[in-house]
């Protein structure tokens, strides 16, 4: 049917940079090839070719690098429903059986729709933030309740069960891939693993452009601001830290317009407000990268 063919078609007009995600083009290509390409085919065709959809993927890497941004955009690109986002620790419950029940509930809606509509069902995306929180305890001696074990088992059961359910994509996210239970990462489960690392200089420039776009549009970005130079100066910064840097820079700019002792700032006071290169340089003194060792430090 036409509708089922249309369901998974990737909207070609999507560009990562337009979506406010910088420096992850390579990662996105990998995600596309390994997890999406199959979804371009109408389900019936895919079946003929023996193509099976990837049911799950793992995005891993340091905090604040855009994993959540990507996971959400993936849903938009695949015409999926608004994703369900859960935090690993949220799933865990001290009451026996409740954690498994929480997992079951996550899949219930998609299962119901698949029963009713089959291949015409829309795609459901389930995002697990901090997936390691669930997995860490599996088989761990210290976990006397066995809660972690049964949660992972329940998740495995659900993932194995979605074989017939073509309408689910599970995206797990973690800062610590080594803590994720191997069983979850096998083919047929969260089988595509993509590292979302710290951005390189080119990526940082893209991210700086994204996070200063509004300032530029409102003509408050000083003409002396050199984003290329700032991209060089922000080695080891994550996307979130670059965002923090931009906010810090604007706070320095605002501060120049505030008279100490007065909370009164009029429109006239800030009419000529600009965020300057010097504001960014001051911000660099305030916002520091949390991760990564710079090459200078290694030398
Ligand atoms: P965590 O592991 O802590 O959950 P995460 O990798 O999921 O982190 P996000 O929540 O996607 O990180 O990013 C946090 C914020 O940092 C975003 O809302 C965005 O403002 C900024 N950011 C991070 N990465 C990027 C990027 N690649 N491009 C543009 N902005 C980014």
**Confidence (pLDDT) at 14:** 62
> Which pLDDT value is given to residue 11?
56
Instruction: Give yes or no for residue 35 CB within 6 A of ligand 1.
Output: no
pLDDT for 43 equals 65
Q: How far is the CA of 178 from the centre of ligand 1 (A)?
A: 21
Q: Name every residue whose Cβ is closer than 8 Å to that of residue 234 and which is 6 or more positions away in sequence.
A: 204, 208, 241, 242, 245, 284, 289
Note whether ipTM > 0.90 here.
yes
Check if 210 has its Cβ closer than 6 Å to any atom of ligand 1. Answer: yes
Strand-by-strand arrangement of the 168-174 sheet: 84-87, 124-129, 168-174, 56-60, 190-195
Q: Read off the pLDDT of residues 41-91 as tens digits, 9 standing for 90 and up.
A: 666 777 777 777 888 999 999 999 999 988 888 888 777 788 899 988 888
> Does ligand 1 lie within 6 Å of residue 122's CB atom?
no
The pTM of the full predicted model, rounded to 2 decimals, is 0.85
Kindly give the distance from the C-alpha atom of residue 238 to the centroid of ligand 1, in angstroms, as a whole number: 8
Q: Which atom of ligand 1 is nearest to the CA of 20?
A: 29
The helices-and-strands tally (H runs, E runs) of the chain is 14, 5
Residues of the chain with pLDDT under 70: 1-17, 40-43, 94, 136-148, 162-164, 259-263, 292-299
Residue nearest to atom 10 of ligand 1 (CA): 68
Whole-number pLDDT of residue 267: 77
**First vs last C-alpha separation in the chain:** 62
């Amino acid at each position: 049917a036409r509708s089922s063919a249309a369901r998974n078609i990737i909207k070609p007009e999507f560009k990562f940079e337009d979506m406010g995600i910088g420096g992850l083009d390579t990662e996105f290509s990998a995600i596309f090839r390994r997890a999406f390409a199959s979804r371009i085919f109408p389900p019936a065709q895919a079946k003929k070719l023996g193509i099976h959809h990837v049911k799950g993927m793992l995005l891993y890497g340091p905090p604040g690098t855009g994993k959540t941004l990507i996971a959400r955009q993936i849903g938009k690109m695949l015409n999926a429903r608004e994703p369900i986002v859960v935090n690993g620790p949220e799933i865990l419950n001290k009451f026996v059986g409740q954690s498994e029940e929480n997992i079951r509930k996550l899949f219930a809606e998609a299962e119901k729709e698949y029963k009713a509509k089959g291949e015409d069902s829309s795609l459901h995306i389930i995002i697990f933030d901090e997936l390691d929180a669930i997995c860490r305890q599996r088989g761990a001696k210290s976990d006397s309740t066995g809660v972690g074990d049964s949660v992972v088992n329940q998740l495995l059961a659900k993932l194995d069960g979605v074989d017939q359910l073509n309408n689910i994509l599970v995206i797990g996210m973690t800062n610590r891939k080594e803590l994720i239970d191997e069983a979850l990462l096998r083919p047929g489960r969260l089988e595509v693993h993509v590292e979302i690392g710290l951005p390189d200089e080119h990526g940082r420039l893209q991210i700086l452009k994204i996070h200063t776009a509004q300032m530029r549009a409102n003509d408050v970005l000083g003409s002396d601001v050199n984003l290329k130079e700032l991209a060089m100066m922000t080695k080891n910064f994550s996307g979130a830290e670059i965002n923090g840097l931009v906010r810090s820079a604007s706070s320095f700019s605002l501060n120049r317009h505030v008279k100490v002792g007065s909370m009164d700032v009029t429109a006239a006071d800030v009419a000529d407000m600009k965020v300057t290169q010097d504001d960014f340089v001051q911000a660099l003194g305030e916002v520091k990268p949390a991760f990564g060792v710079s090459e200078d430090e290694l030398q």
